[in-house]
């Protein structure tokens, strides 16, 4: 097994064994006002939502980037693709950058399209990718969009990681203006702030996936792999709820925003959609369900999330995802303090 394949397997191993955090998502500090006269029938609630340049999603749950790039992980991606197909979920594959460069293990990604020929699939590369790299990744899985991941903290924690991060924005701009599909830029667990989101939109990025702190912690995963890593990197990042507020301040509500980072429940999904996300990304909990109970259990749990979200939409008086952006909420705790502080700074 080569070093890249070993690393990919380690990521799955530690993603399953390590808990979320230690940074909290912030969603416990957001409270939704109940509507006691909803005037909504449960069977009339629609979960359909939109992302710029991508066909309509039947519901807002995206199976977000996890794995691939190793022979042993082809089965995992096959199973995830089946879950996506059975639940009608959009799905992003894990980073294809290594496979594009080495021309190895492409089958561990192609299997996703083979299992889900009509599904919405996002390709995935690093910000180091050239235009030809990006197009190769898109073609490999016949993707409807390209996800570019930003993971500086993970790279710094990784013994074999990158240490040069200049030129990323220019590379992203080239991809945005040269590819046949829209570009999504996704943080991998440290969140995004207003200034960087604005810079990404200015170079042509269509969809922002905030990837906030509070969920799967990649610096902690790398710290488990490499004991000489800067272990404090696991405490770095913007809580998901605060990063989402930053994105909405730039993009507007439900204008091409995916909320990812420790969102595990229908209630947190509801809060993210109310704050202004079009969709939410999930990875760690889906992987755990798949590992614990197989495809059938993972499908059951994801369908349960969909049904639970519909219940909560009734209790807000909303028939559609777009109506959720007008539901009143109030803030407490650290999110309230952060919101006030950031507003005073600007």
Q: What's residue 250's pLDDT? A: 96
Q: Is residue 55 part of a domain?
A: yes
For 51, the 3-state DSSP assignment is strand
Q: What's residue 66's pLDDT? A: 83
**60 contacts 71 by C-beta, under 8 angstroms:** no
- Of 25, 6, 33, 52, the C-alpha closest to 282 is 25
Q: Is residue 168 part of a domain?
A: yes
DSSP string, 265-290: SHHHHHHHHHHT-SEEEE-HHHHHHH
- Name every residue whose Cβ is closer than 8 Å to that of residue 215 and which is 6 or more positions away in sequence: 20, 25, 189, 240, 260, 261, 262, 263, 264, 283, 284
For 298, the 3-state DSSP assignment is helix
Across the chain, which has 346 residues, the per-10-residue mean pLDDT values are: 70 88 96 98 98 97 87 91 98 93 91 97 96 97 98 92 92 96 97 98 98 94 90 96 97 98 98 98 95 97 98 98 97 95 83
Q: Is residue 14 part of a domain?
A: no
Q: What is the DSSP letter of 294?
A: H
Count of the separate structural domains present in the chain? 1
Range(s) of the domain holding residue 329: 3-9+23-345
Q: What's residue 121's pLDDT? A: 98
Q: Is residue 270 part of a domain?
A: yes
By the 10 Å C-beta count (0-12 exposed, 13-18 middle, 19+ buried), 256 is classed as buried
Please give the Cα distance from 17 to 324 (Å, whole number).
Answer: 35
Q: Is residue 15 part of a domain?
A: no
Q: What's residue 8's pLDDT? A: 81
Q: Is residue 17 part of a domain?
A: no
Q: What's residue 3's pLDDT? A: 66
Indicate the pTM of the whole model.
Answer: 0.96
Q: What's residue 11's pLDDT? A: 85
Q: Is residue 165 part of a domain?
A: yes
Q: Is residue 318 part of a domain?
A: yes
Any idea what the CATH number is for the domain that residue 179 is in? 3.20.20.70
């Amino acid at each position: 097994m080569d070093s890249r394949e070993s690393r990919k397997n380690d990521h799955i191993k530690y993603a399953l064994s390590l808990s979320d955090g230690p940074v909290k998502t912030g969603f416990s500090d957001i409270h939704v006002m109940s509507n006691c006269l909803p005037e909504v029938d449960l069977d009339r609630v629609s979960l359909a939502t939109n992302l710029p340049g991508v066909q309509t999603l039947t519901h807002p749950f995206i199976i977000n980037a996890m794995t691939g790039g190793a022979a042993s992980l082809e089965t995992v991606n096959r199973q995830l693709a089946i879950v996506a197909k059975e639940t009608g979920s959009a799905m992003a594959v894990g980073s294809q950058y290594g496979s594009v460069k080495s021309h190895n293990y492409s089958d561990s990604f192609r299997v996703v399209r083979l299992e889900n020929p009509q599904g919405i699939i996002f390709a995935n590369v690093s910000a180091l990718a050239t235009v030809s790299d990006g197009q190769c990744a898109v073609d490999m899985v016949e993707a409807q969009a390209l996800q570019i991941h930003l993971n500086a903290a993970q790279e710094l924690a990784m013994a074999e990681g990158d240490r040069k991060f200049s030129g990323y924005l220019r590379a992203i701009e080239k991809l945005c203006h040269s590819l046949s599909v829209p570009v999504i830029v996704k943080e991998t667990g440290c969140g995004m702030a207003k200034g960087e989101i604005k810079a990404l939109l200015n170079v042509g990025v269509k969809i922002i996936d905030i990837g906030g702190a509070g969920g799967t912690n990649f610096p902690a995963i790398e710290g488990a792999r490499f004991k000489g890593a800067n272990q404090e990197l696991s405490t770095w990042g913007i809580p998901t709820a605060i990063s989402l507020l930053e994105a909405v301040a730039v993009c507007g509500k439900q204008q091409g925003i995916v909320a990812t980072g420790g969102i595990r429940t229908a209630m947190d999904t509801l809060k993210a959609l109310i704050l202004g996300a079009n969709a939410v990304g999930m990875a760690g909990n889906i992987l755990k369900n798949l590992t614990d109970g197989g495809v059938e259990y993972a499908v059951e749990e994801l369908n349960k999330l969909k049904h639970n979200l519909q219940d909560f939409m009734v209790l807000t008086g909303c028939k559609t995802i777009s109506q959720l952006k007008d539901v009143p909420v109030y803030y407490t705790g650290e999110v309230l303090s952060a919101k006030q502080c950031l507003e005073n700074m600007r």
